[in-house]
Amino acid sequence: MLDVRRLRVLREVASHGSFSAAAEALSYTQSAVSQQIAALEREAGAQLVERSARGIKLTDPGRALVAHADAILARLADAEEELLAINGLRGGRLRIAAFPSACAALMPQAIATFRDRHPGVELSLTPAEPPEGLTLLRAGDVDVALAIEATGPPARTDSADLDALTLLDDPMYIMLPRDHPLAGSSRLKLADLADEEWMIGSGRTTCPDTSIFLRACQAAGFEPRMAFNLDDYNAIQGFVAAGMGISFIPDLALINLRDDLVIRSFGSGRAPVRRIVAVTLSDSYRSPAKQAMLDVLVEVSGAFGARRTELALAS
């Protein structure tokens, strides 16, 4: 029978590409990782890893085993969570992944509210962009992941193994340096900004914010010229303030706006909107702690939406 702990070691070796990196991630020695892999190969009756001077490569049996490892480890994490939940909300743990703007705007109040109501539950928060957060969720490393979708009811995900709960529709604004020629306009037409250089999200079209931005520009009749690709809206603010370009910015990211920037609404039509969702595994155990956190996230997100910032209308 295969040892689950050794499956976890194999997954880390495959993820990091070397025994030494896997050892560091697991807080093991490199020798211990090597011994665990050798023992797993004996259990599997097949060579799982090819070793060379340039690192390691999985064999076909190794790739097959790793493909099953994530699901096995996720189910075991569910089993542990269910056992911990026997004591209801008097104990147990809950692990959450959230992207940076949600970490700044939603999670502080959500965690404070949850801890006030359920102090016996151990909480952890991992900052992770949506694709990485969903990877952590599928691997069983977190219980809830906050993600971003394009709007369009109902809330959905790209995979049948995930359930998405809508938290908030988060509108986009246009961010300009304060000395920009159009900074005095209260509202802007996107088509009037076709000749500008832009910064938004990463360069990956699979990034939700990037895809929302590109579709909005295409609908306005132009392909944007990208100055830099950045994943952090705090960094984007710095580049915009330095005159390197302009950017979209979502409402969640306005919580720590710089003084040398202005935010403007879209002058006509509906502003591009990203939908914030809380994602769970569709067939995972819904522990009392997990359900309580989902309820708190809905509550906190609703309160945030009710006091929607009016910075876009400021001069």
| pLDDT tier for residue 95 given thresholds of 50, 70 and 90 | very high
Residues 6+ apart with CB under 8 A from 292: 89, 114, 117, 118, 121
Give the strand pairing for 197-199 and 273-281: unpaired
Residue 217 tokens read as 């520009």
pLDDT (mean) for 56-62: 86
Give the strand pairing for 93-98 and 144-150: parallel
Q: What is the CA radius of gyration of the chain?
A: 23
- pLDDT on residue 238: 94
Q: Which residue has the tokens 């070397």?
A: 18
- pLDDT on residue 313: 41
Residues 6+ apart with CB under 8 A from 5: 36
Q: Set out the domains of the chain in order of their start, with CATH numbers.
A: 4-79 (1.10.10.10), 91-315 (3.40.190.290)
Nearest to 102 by CA among 123, 137, 135, 129: 129
Diameter over CA atoms, the chain: 71
Q: What is the pTM of this model?
A: 0.70
Contact 150, 276 (CB under 8 A): no
Please give the DSSP secondary-structure letter assigned to residue 166: E
pLDDT (mean) for 77-87: 70
Contact 245, 193 (CB under 8 A): no
Per-residue pLDDT tens over the stretch 117-170: 999 889 999 999 888 999 999 988 999 999 998 665 444 555 778 999 999 999
Query: When comparing pLDDT for 204 and 36, which is higher?
Result: 36
Q: How far apart are CA 143 and CA 81, in angstroms?
A: 9
Q: Which amino acid is at 50?
A: E
**Angle, helix 30-44 to helix 19-26, in steps of 10 degrees:** 110
Per-residue pLDDT tens over the stretch 265-310: 887 667 889 999 999 998 877 888 899 999 999 999 999 887 765 4
- pLDDT on residue 283: 80
- pLDDT on residue 131: 87
List, in sequence order, every residue forming a beta bridge with 122; answer none if it has no partner.
93
- What phi, psi does 86 have (nearest 5°)? -55, -35
**Angle, helix 19-26 to helix 4-16, in steps of 10 degrees:** 120
Rounded alpha-carbon distances, angstroms, from residue 247 to 110, 113, 240, 255: 28, 33, 7, 16
List, in sequence order, every residue forming a beta bridge with 279; answer none if it has no partner.
145, 164
Say how many residues make up the chain: 315
For the chain, the straight-line distance linking the first and the last C-alpha, in angstroms and rounded, comes to 68
User: Rounded to 5 degrees, what angle do the CA atoms 204, 207, 209 make?
Assistant: 120
- pLDDT of 106 above 60: yes
Contact 198, 246 (CB under 8 A): yes
Within the chain, residue ranges assigned H as helices are 4-16, 19-26, 30-44, 60-84, 100-105, 107-117, 130-138, 208-219, 233-241, 288-306
Q: Which amino acid is at 105?
A: A
